[in-house]
Structure 1
Amino acid sequence: MNVEEILTKSSFSMLKNKIDNRILSALKNMGLEKPTRIQAETLPHLLSNEDIIGAAKTGSGKTLAFLIPVIDKLVKLGFSRKHGVGCIILSPTRELALQTHQVLKKVLTNIDLSCCLIVGGEKKAKDILSLKKGVNIIVSTPGRLLDHLQNTENFNCNNLKCLVVDEADKLLEAGFEKEITGIIKLLPSKRQTILFSATIDSNVKNLARLAMKNDPIIVSTNDEKQSTVAGLQQGYCVCPVESRIPWLYKMLKKGRKLKTMVFFSSCKSVDFHYEFFNLHCKASVLSIHGRQSQARRKEAYQSFVDAQNGALFCTDVAARGLDIPSVDWIVQYDPPTDPKEYIHRVGRTARGLNNKGNAVILLRPEEEDFVNYLKEEKVYLDKYSFGDPPGDVQEMLEDLVSTNGVVKTLARKAYLSFLRCYKTHPMKNIFNIKTLDLKLAAKAFGFLEQPHVDFLKSSKKHQKLDKPDPL
């Protein structure tokens, strides 16, 4: 079996007699017949028990690329509950861990292997009960897993056969290096290690050296000519800061029968815009950000997965790994921290084989040069025009902020957060607070008069702003 053979036949059925038939049946029931490029290129190595570093664009099918060989290995080894943990899968966020766990359960439909989800925000007692019963495959975030490895009695990992590190670059960006190092030290060294990442940089290679005893096979399907998938149509729209709310209203109205994700730079901005559009514009909107409870995030995520249309307002907590079906539009209402984060945001659409999607980023006239930075990363945007935004929406917002105390408080917090994000933006040559008219920016949050913000004075004393929001 080789890559060319899989790609030529372009069907999972060619793996008959190579992997358990129940896995093939589950894939067929999931509507999956053809492997993606990353699956075709990594499966031969993974089924041969080799360590691997796999790099592919977001939305390319990395999850099944590691789930198929992991499940097949444990089935062939005859794993049951009494054998304990055979595989651990590390994810950077609770949402991605939940999603991986859901896909895992679908593949295990007719296979007698046990699995569980272990993430922060859930009760530890529930985890401990599952672990005591015996779990073969664990999907977890690093902090909670390390806690159990260090403190939970009878947590049996002695028979571990495989460690999967998913979205390795994001795990490192999120500051989990210490936890991952601690986990690796507590796991058996004789195992297969699988590391997947959207990109392979020096930090990811250092992590691989720590996690892998053998020299890994490196597989990359990233297209050097283009950093985003071929089915993605993307562009930018230049909009004055004071016209942002009417622009977004028009965008959502035009796409009311579509499924849209809108990215904001802070939790407070998500809360404010959610309040305005959901309760006062009667738009079909959900929200996800890092300051919500785990239960609320889980509910919103599942609701949006099941939805046929509507919008999800979110921070970059939703930018990595989440596989939400049929997302038509990605709207970057607030700028990403860098071109890399732009790529991860737009990766929520046009996912899988032959899928298509659309993306647009909103830029102030002073920020248009960001498009050239994207070109350097092999991301090419068209310039879009959405026409004149409706003025009555701005009037409605201004009336609400003037008369509704709840909306006014949310607006002020969002405004301060918006300024903080500009003040601390890594790309200050493009997203620069000095080029931002604070009074016009306040209008974008419904204020007729700019709230008192002692932000930048000639004396160079800066306003004390809120601490950064979690994602």
Structure 2
Amino acid sequence: MLSDGEENKQNEVETETKTDEDKPLTWKDLGLVDVLCKACEQLKWKEPSKIQKESIPVALQGKDVIGLAETGSGKTAAFALPILQSLLENPQRYFALILTPTRELAFQISEQFEALGASIGVKCAVIVGGMDMMSQALVLAKKPHILIATPGRLLDHLENTKGFNLKALKYLVMDEADRILNMDFEVEVDKILKVIPRERRTFLFSATMTKKVKKLQRACLREPVKVEVSTKYQTVEKLQQSYIFIPVKFKDVYLVHILNEMAGNSFMIFCSTCNNTLRTALVLRNLGLTAVPLHGQMSQNKRLAALTKFKAKNRSILISTDVASRGLDIPHVDVVINFDIPTHSKDYIHRVGRTARAGRSGKAITFVTQYDVELYQRIEQLIGKQLPLYKTEEDEVMVLQERVAESQRIAKMEMKDLTEKKGKRKKGDADGDDDDTEGASGVRKRLKGGKKKGGKKK
């Protein structure tokens, strides 16, 4: 048996060993050069995240990497930092290509590259659909270091833009690879792989390891190192999740009640269709709430404007389809509301991953109607836990019913008006969403003056 003195000594030794082990790794410990460590500090990144700790040292050794990590885990910096360090050692144009599934994600990755590479003069170009091909060709002619692109538009340029090729490319990154393949970009990806050098480094980042991703891995990676941060589908610990069970006809009333109850927070509300996204935004606006829609049928400039307004906190409610459920890093989302339950359970993980990012806390509330029970049970099965019920007082909620019904009626007429305008403007904007974000107020004024014209609904 140990005497008191010996026991204390042993405890001291244990504590010392423990402290050494638990000592957080710094950016320098990962092997990054001073200028990049400084860039991380300026961005207020105190220490590397799990995926960064695991993948950056491997990538700096010049190996191919497969990174599997949950959303919001810092994947972008995990591939951006090794690429920038390698670019510093061998500066050249068209150095790296990053393929992403959505336009918004491409712009976001570009922002992060520019922030990290500001002091070393890195030039980036974003090549995505919904923008003018000619102005993009001019940007490409300036030969940026880093290209961030969606597969379809990049292929358009490779096939049609004179003098543009990627024969000297050193790095290829596929971010959200599972989603690139799910969105049927397989043909485009195959064609791109054929025209870029085989002698290159490849990073494949994905939230899930699907059969398609495995197939892609075999096709384009050489002896890759697999870095897996989270093996099962899970949501971050600081996220408070709950569900609310309501009749489908009162969904709008309950939504308005929750938004009022939690006023002062910023919200992301997920809907299943572009139409419902716009309808919900109009209903909320008519009630004086600052809501902005974001969906796939909006032009690229409108989508970026909506995101900018929300990021700048000029609007506190962003209503979106799944176009914004993955990859987008909007730091200040306090509450995620699944207004329409996701059909694919995995999308639930990505949606709620918009809040409680980078160690902050957040809330997620899922609306479950009589038609959603089975889908909701699948979500609970996937995340391996039963969620608590979000408590509401029915009497308090139903006080709002009359006001919400009036707002729904106005929104319906506004939608009808927009549909008619869209029909008249066949040769105009292909997206037909010029009035999506601001046109509603004009319609409201007309309604109040009683000058609303009838018309057949398209």
TM range (shorter): 0.7 to 0.9
- Which residue of 1 is the match for residue 416 of structure 2? 409
Q: Does the 8 Å contact 1:320/1:344 carry over to 2?
A: yes
CA deviations on 1:220-250 (whole Å, 9 max, x unpaired) are: 11154x6111111111110111111110001
**What's the secondary structure of 1:265's corresponding residue?**
coil
CA deviations on 1:13-40 (whole Å, 9 max, x unpaired) are: 324xx32322111111100121100000
Q: What's the CA shift for 1:177?
A: 0.9
Distance in structure 2 (CA, Å) of the matches to 1:403 and 1:364: 24
- Which residue of 1 is the match for residue 425 of structure 2? none
Alignment of 1:118-133 (within 5 A): 118-133=127-142
Distance in structure 2 (CA, Å) of the matches to 1:410 and 1:241: 25
Q: What's the CA shift for 1:410?
A: 7.6
CA deviations on 1:376-412 (whole Å, 9 max, x unpaired) are: 3134222222222533543234345557772463899
- Which residue of 2 is the match for residue 276 of structure 1? 283
Q: What's the CA shift for 1:346?
A: 0.7
Q: Does the 8 Å contact 2:282/2:411 carry over to 1?
A: no
Q: Does the 8 Å contact 2:345/2:378 carry over to 1?
A: yes
**What's the secondary structure of 1:64's corresponding residue?**
helix
- Which residue of 2 is the match for residue 255 of structure 1? 262
Q: Which amino acid aligns with 1:215?
A: E
Alignment of 1:3-152 (within 5 A): 8-15=23-30, 18-77=31-90, 79=91, 83-152=92-161
Residue correspondences, number: 401
Q: Which amino acid aligns with 2:310?
A: F
Residue of 346, 365, 369 corresponding to 1:364: 369
Q: Does the 8 Å contact 1:401/1:407 carry over to 2?
A: no
TM-score normalised to structure 2 length: 0.83
Decide whether aligned partners of structure 1 residues 136 and 374 sit closer, same or farther in structure 2, where only a CA change above 3 A counts.
same
Q: Does the 8 Å contact 2:292/2:315 carry over to 1?
A: no
Q: What's the CA shift for 1:367?
A: 3.1
Distance in structure 2 (CA, Å) of the matches to 1:48 and 1:240: 56
Q: What's the CA shift for 1:282?
A: 0.6
Pair 1:169 & 2:178 matched: yes
Alignment of 1:167-246 (within 5 A): 167-212=176-221, 214-224=222-232, 227-246=234-253
Identity %: 34
Q: Does the 8 Å contact 1:84/1:157 carry over to 2?
A: no
Q: Does the 8 Å contact 1:51/1:192 carry over to 2?
A: yes
Q: What's the CA shift for 1:7?
A: 7.4
Distance in structure 2 (CA, Å) of the matches to 1:408 and 1:208: 45
Q: Which amino acid aligns with 2:26?
A: S
Decide whether aligned partners of structure 1 residues 116 and 237 sit closer, same or farther in structure 2, where only a CA change above 3 A counts.
same
Rg larger in 1 or in 2? 2
CA deviations on 1:409-449 (whole Å, 9 max, x unpaired) are: 38999xxxxxxxxxxxxxxxxxxxxxxxxxxxxxxxxxxxx
CA deviations on 1:284-320 (whole Å, 9 max, x unpaired) are: 1111000111101001111111217711011000111
TM-score normalised to structure 1 length: 0.81
Q: What's the CA shift for 1:178?
A: 1.0
Q: Does the 8 Å contact 2:239/2:362 carry over to 1?
A: yes
Distance in structure 2 (CA, Å) of the matches to 1:108 and 1:382: 44
- Which residue of 1 is the match for residue 454 of structure 2? none
Distance in structure 1 (CA, Å) of the matches to 2:21 and 2:57: 9
Q: Does the 8 Å contact 2:257/2:400 carry over to 1?
A: no
- Which residue of 2 is the match for residue 418 of structure 1? none
Tell me, which stretches of 5 or more residues in structure 2 are unaligned?
A: 1-19, 421-457
Q: Which amino acid aligns with 1:52?
A: V
Q: Does the 8 Å contact 1:401/1:408 carry over to 2?
A: no
Pair 1:292 & 2:305 matched: no
Instruction: State the Cα RMSD in Å.
Output: 2.3
Pair 1:355 & 2:360 matched: yes
Q: What's the CA shift for 1:128?
A: 1.2
Tell me, which stretches of 5 or more residues in structure 1 are unaligned?
A: 414-465, 467-471
**What's the secondary structure of 1:28's corresponding residue?**
helix
